Amino acid sequence: MKNFISVHDVTDINALVKKALAFKANPLMSQSLGKDKRIGLLFLNPSLRTRLSTQVAAKNLGMEAIVFNVDKEGWALEFEEGAIMSGNTVEHVKDAAPILGSYFDILCIRTFPSLKNKEDDYSELYITQFIKYAGVPVISLESATLHPLQSLTDIITIQESLQAQKITRKPKIVLTWAPHVKPLPQCVANSFAQWVNAWGEADFVITHPEDYELSEEFTKGATITHNQDEALKDADFVYVKNWSTYTDYGKIYENDPRWMLDSEKIALTNNAKVMHCLPVRRNVELSDEVLDSPNSIVTQEAANRVWAAQAVIAEILGGK
Amino acid sequence: MKNFISVHDVTDINALVKKALAFKANPLMSQSLGKDKRIGLLFLNPSLRTRLSTQVAAKNLGMEAIVFNVDKEGWALEFEEGAIMSGNTVEHVKDAAPILGSYFDILCIRTFPSLKNKEDDYSELYITQFIKYAGVPVISLESATLHPLQSLTDIITIQESLQAQKITRKPKIVLTWAPHVKPLPQCVANSFAQWVNAWGEADFVITHPEDYELSEEFTKGATITHNQDEALKDADFVYVKNWSTYTDYGKIYENDPRWMLDSEKIALTNNAKVMHCLPVRRNVELSDEVLDSPNSIVTQEAANRVWAAQAVIAEILGGK
Amino acid sequence: MKNFISVHDVTDINALVKKALAFKANPLMSQSLGKDKRIGLLFLNPSLRTRLSTQVAAKNLGMEAIVFNVDKEGWALEFEEGAIMSGNTVEHVKDAAPILGSYFDILCIRTFPSLKNKEDDYSELYITQFIKYAGVPVISLESATLHPLQSLTDIITIQESLQAQKITRKPKIVLTWAPHVKPLPQCVANSFAQWVNAWGEADFVITHPEDYELSEEFTKGATITHNQDEALKDADFVYVKNWSTYTDYGKIYENDPRWMLDSEKIALTNNAKVMHCLPVRRNVELSDEVLDSPNSIVTQEAANRVWAAQAVIAEILGGK
């Protein structure tokens, strides 16, 4: 693996999941793989789980991890080619990226979308420019349109749960939109859809109110419906997530509280396991009742972030 | 020791002090105790000494320390059970704490009081919720009402000073209020009172202007007077600290500059050693003359923060 | 070496450059030199290259590096002796520095000038106070008037480039002022002038518009001209940098875009290598055309920051 930006960087999802679960069973089994190597974690946006789990994963591999909050500790970067930099941006990615590449063996980058200009966001300019100029492997810690470490974690958690429940048939997985208080990126939903489709071992349904259609680039292969109750029927896994509109970009069209996942909705499912990438707005996206029930596997899911990151870093270090 | 939140978590203060002084003599004597273990330092409020001394202590024990400034790098946490999170808080402690617990072997947390609602602050909701949900040992790096690592450091420093001065009789220790420019928490004063009372090997006097009474929960056992000069008479140690009012909560009632500790006041003492937790407002709380004199042991005191933290972490790692 | 604040702390520049290039060839050759030692990196101002390169350098020497952003994670420090601290400053350097000295074996500090009061800035009060009170060696990560790690890097890069080009004659080095969008410190220019003059192995020319004269303390020995084209003639190295006025302090008098270094200007030189400390405002200070050409060695220069820092830390650890 050269970079880790989307599911397209992975040749065998199940093999990567297996590797991650091996690390979960034995976190320090490859403690010398990263000896005398360094991983740089650059945040253009805030992070809790992603930052800490990636630091822990790197340490488990014997690597030195250095965090740099570009937004707070550094300055505004310029990403446009040919920019006349007489404004607020202080340094061009063409200058910053190769230098960071000289300091680190692997660069990890988090950068959010503007939610203002769809073309810009969906061109993935920021992370693409980093890859172009860094000269070392780049791992996405969430980009404008995708969150691949989260999605790998999600597949890991689903497989783990299937094994624990001894389910061998094809599970039904439902990705459902949920209400929120502000416009959020489509990244987690796009990425989850992309990975579940690429994995191919589930009946996959996406449900959301009208006007919240995601890009077909990621959803193609899933069944899409505006009827949440119907979607939830017999679900084995319900993935809850808010996103803002994609078509008329970055807006909140409707925020119907009845889309919140509560116990009544769970009753429609096959006693489904409930997932969420966190942070979650309790009693807005998901009810306390559900989150505090045995149906919720959100803590297990977030804890699995470590093993996803560790598997990806190990693949890159191993040059596979 | 399971958690370290107050003096009540300590079964033998003198044994813990002895352990700390052993680390001071030989910082790396337990360098393998924390091997392949991780300690997370979460700051909901800023810190210099506490953060750095705890990082150093962890490293001395061979542990990996990871700092996370929740206030700056993360987002606002919710602590109320049942909250409908449609406001400014982004993540509930019920979700954040168990995940942090999955990433770390020990969690350290700093969280300040609001100074607006006494009941809320004195319920220690934040740190109590962290302990409830983290699933791993929690160390307070200062909470709404207490600062136990500072107080342990203070007892260490007093014992060290007594030994250096070859004083074997019961020392007189005075905690005196001092002027300041803004309303401060009662934590350091509460905690110092709690620890000196629990230690029990001193004549302990607290002095402050009227209306600055601290909670009896912590001061019970000390002599309290509003006459600073009388209090300072024959003192061996003077602990200087400002705090805002407790009864009519979080206010500055009076700020008489004559309460500043200067050389004239020191002349009333038994050539007392002067202590302060730092940061100190020079020439407001304490005069330059005193701080720059041999009476001041504030630098030694702050340097001892490392050994206090190291003793506590070692106790927790040792499962004692 | 006791401290590293300016070229005056270096007894043999060429020996230090040689050491740095030896580390570049073999980064881990002294991996046990810093074992069980700690270096503290204090930032009163933001930093990218300086912070990361110094962290990497310390790790290469087996040292633990701890970063502390005083401006963001801590609070405002007081530097004036005798200050009555009833204002915004929370802690005096007299109290903070010795404690930091107790936590670390080496302290590194970045502190920028105010650009408001020349006497204050050029007295180097901040870093001088740190050295006075820290009790351990201090390394400047850029101070009010100088940036010695950058300048050492620059000499390293020039020597490396001369060797690569097999140039054995005395090179012509030109330091040229460039336009910018806001008033910048004189540090990099002062420091580069100081080091090239002390090194003594070049024909050294400084060029800038009228009114941008630097302090003679640093420039003495260089040829100074207001005619950029004349200065650039036959140059082997062109060091591009903006600075604000020194005489009438901290101002922008003129910002003529014709001072930007572009390909036409390069044509005047001896196919000069172009240097800049970064971050650089593209198409304001330097044209894209030049920065993206083989003439630019800015990435090599920034990557060399690691070896400069490593050589300096090693000298201090070695007590030489």
Same domain for A139 and A161? no
Would the CB atoms of A72 and B73 count as touching at under 8 Å?
yes
Question: Residue C125 above 80 pLDDT?
Answer: yes
Read off the pLDDT of residues B164-214 as tens digits, 9 standing for 90 and up.
999 999 999 999 999 999 999 999 999 999 999 999 999 999 999 999 999
| A128 labeled binding residue | no
Closest residue on chain A to B70 (Cα): A48
Query: For A241-281, how does the pLDDT look when each residue is reduced to its tens digit (9 = 90+)?
Result: 999 999 999 999 989 999 999 999 999 999 999 999 999 99
Looking at CA atoms only, how far is residue B126 from chain C in angstroms? 21
Out of A72-81, A286-295, C279-288, which region has the weakest mean confidence (pLDDT)? A72-81
**Mean of the pLDDT values across residues A105-125?**
95
Cross-chain CB nearest to A72 (options B36, B72, B100):
B72
Tokens of A137: 């492997």
Torsion of the alpha carbons at A149, A154, A160 and A165, rounded to the nearest 10 = 180
d(CA A33, nearest CA chain C) in Å: 17
Does any CB of chain C come closer than 8 Å to the CB of residue B39? no
Show residues of chain A in contact with B74, CB under 8 Å. 46-48
3-state secondary structure chain C: CCCECCHHHCCCHHHHHHHHHHHHHCCCCCCCCCCCCEEEEEECCCCCHHHHHHHHHHHHCCCEEEEEEHHHHCCCEECCCCCCCCCCCCEEHHHHHHHHHHHCCEEEEECCCCCCCHHHHHCCHHHHHHHHHHCCCEEECCCCCCCHHHHHHHHHHHHHHHHHCCCCCCCEEEEEECCCCCCCCCHHHHHHHHHHHHHCCCEEEEECCCCCCCCHHHHECEEEECCHHHHHCCCCEEEEECCCCCCCCCCCCCCCHHHCECHHHHCCCCCCEEECCCCCCECCCECHHHHCCCCECHHHHHHCHHHHHHHHHHHHHCCC
Extract the annotated binding site of B for N(2)-succinyl-L-ornithine.
142, 180, 241, 281
pLDDT at B100: 96
CA distance C303 to chain A (A): 6
Per the structure, the complete domain to which residue A70 belongs is given by: 7-146+305-317
Residue A181 lies in a domain: yes
Residue C1 resides in a domain: no
Q: Please indicate whether, in this complex, the C-beta atoms of C92 and B59 are within 8 angstroms of each other.
A: no
B164 shares a domain with B66: no
Provide the pLDDT for residue A254.
86
pLDDT band at C107 (very low <50, low <70, confident <90, very high): very high
Enumerate the residues of chain C whose CB falls inside 8 A of the CB of residue B181.
86-87
Q: Say what the pLDDT of residue A131 is.
A: 96
Residue C2 counted as domain residue: no
Structure confidence at residue B190 (pLDDT) = 98
Q: Which residue of B has its CA nearest to A283?
A: B84
The residue ranking higher by pLDDT, B74 or C1, is C1
Please indicate, yes or no, if residue B71 is contained in any of the structural domains.
Answer: yes
pLDDT digit string, tens, across residues B49-107: 999 999 999 999 999 999 998 877 777 899 999 999 999 999 999 999 999 999 999 99
Q: Which chains touch C (3+ CB pairs under 8 A)? A: A, B
Q: Is the pLDDT of residue C73 over 80?
A: no
Does one domain contain both A293 and A309? no
Q: Kindly indicate the confidence band of residue A194, based on its pLDDT and cuts at 50, 70 and 90.
A: very high
For residue B204, the SS3 value is: strand
* pLDDT recorded at residue A72: 74
Q: What backbone phi and psi angles, to 5 degrees, belong to B43?
A: -115, 115
Asked if residue A1 belongs to a domain, the reply is no
- Are residue B94 and residue B29 in the same domain, yes or no? yes
Q: Are residues B33 and B139 in the same domain?
A: yes
Give the mean pLDDT of B274-302: 97
Do B59 and B139 sit in the same domain of this protein? yes
**pLDDT score for C254:** 86
Residue B319 pLDDT > 90, yes or no? Answer: no
The arithmetic mean of pLDDT across residues A99-126, rounded, is 95
Question: Are A291 and A312 found together in one domain?
Answer: no
Amino acid B320: pLDDT: 59
Interchain contact, B95 vs A284, CB within 8 Å: no
My answer on whether C273 and C312 are in the same domain is: no
- Number of domains comprising chain B: 2
Amino acid C320: pLDDT: 59
The answer to whether the Cβ–Cβ distance between C95 and B56 falls below 8 Å is no
B83 lies within 8 A of chain A by CB:
yes
Nearest-by-Cβ selection for C281 from A38, A64, A86: A86
> Are C74 and C154 in the same domain?
no
Please tell me the distance in Å from C282's CA to the nearest CA on chain A. Answer: 5
Contact B299 C36 (CB under 8 A): no
Q: Is B59 on the interface with C (CB under 8 A)?
A: yes
Q: How far is B85 from chain A (nearest CA, A)?
A: 5
Question: Which residues on chain A are in Cβ contact (under 8 Å) with C59?
Answer: 38, 64
Q: Select the residue of A51, A72, A279 nearest B90 (Cβ to Cβ).
A: A279
pLDDT (0 to 100) of residue A316? 97
User: What pLDDT, on a 0 to 100 scale, did the predictor assign at position A320?
Assistant: 59
Asked if B52 and C68 come within 8 Å (Cβ–Cβ), the reply is yes
Whether B202 and B256 map to the same domain: the answer is yes
ipTM over 0.85: yes
pLDDT of residue C137: 98
Q: Does C253 touch chain B (CB under 8 A)?
A: no
C248/C139 same-domain check: no
Report d(CA A303, CA A23) in Å as an integer.
12
Q: Is the pLDDT of residue B16 over 70?
A: yes
Query: From A102, which residue of chain C is nearest by alpha-carbon distance?
Result: C303
Interface of B with A in 146-205 (CB under 8 A): none
pLDDT digits (tens, 9 = 90+) for B216-248: 999 999 999 999 999 999 999 999 999 999 999
pLDDT, mean of residues B289-317: 98
Question: Percent of chain B scored above 90 by pLDDT?
Answer: 95
Question: Angle at which helices B49-60 and B305-318 pack, to 10 degrees?
Answer: 50
pLDDT higher than 80, residue B136: yes
Question: CA-CA distance, C249 to B85, in Å (whole number)?
Answer: 52
The Cα C142–Cα C6 span in angstroms is: 10
Residue C49 lies in a domain: yes
Contact assignment for C102 to B291 by CB distance below 8 Å: no
Asked if the structure places residue B313 within a domain, the reply is yes
Residue type, C151: S
CA nearest A307 in B: which residue?
B103
CATH number at residue C177: 3.40.50.1370
Indicate yes or no: CB of A306 within 8 angstroms of CB of B91: no
Residue C88 resides in a domain: yes
Same domain, A201 and A122: no
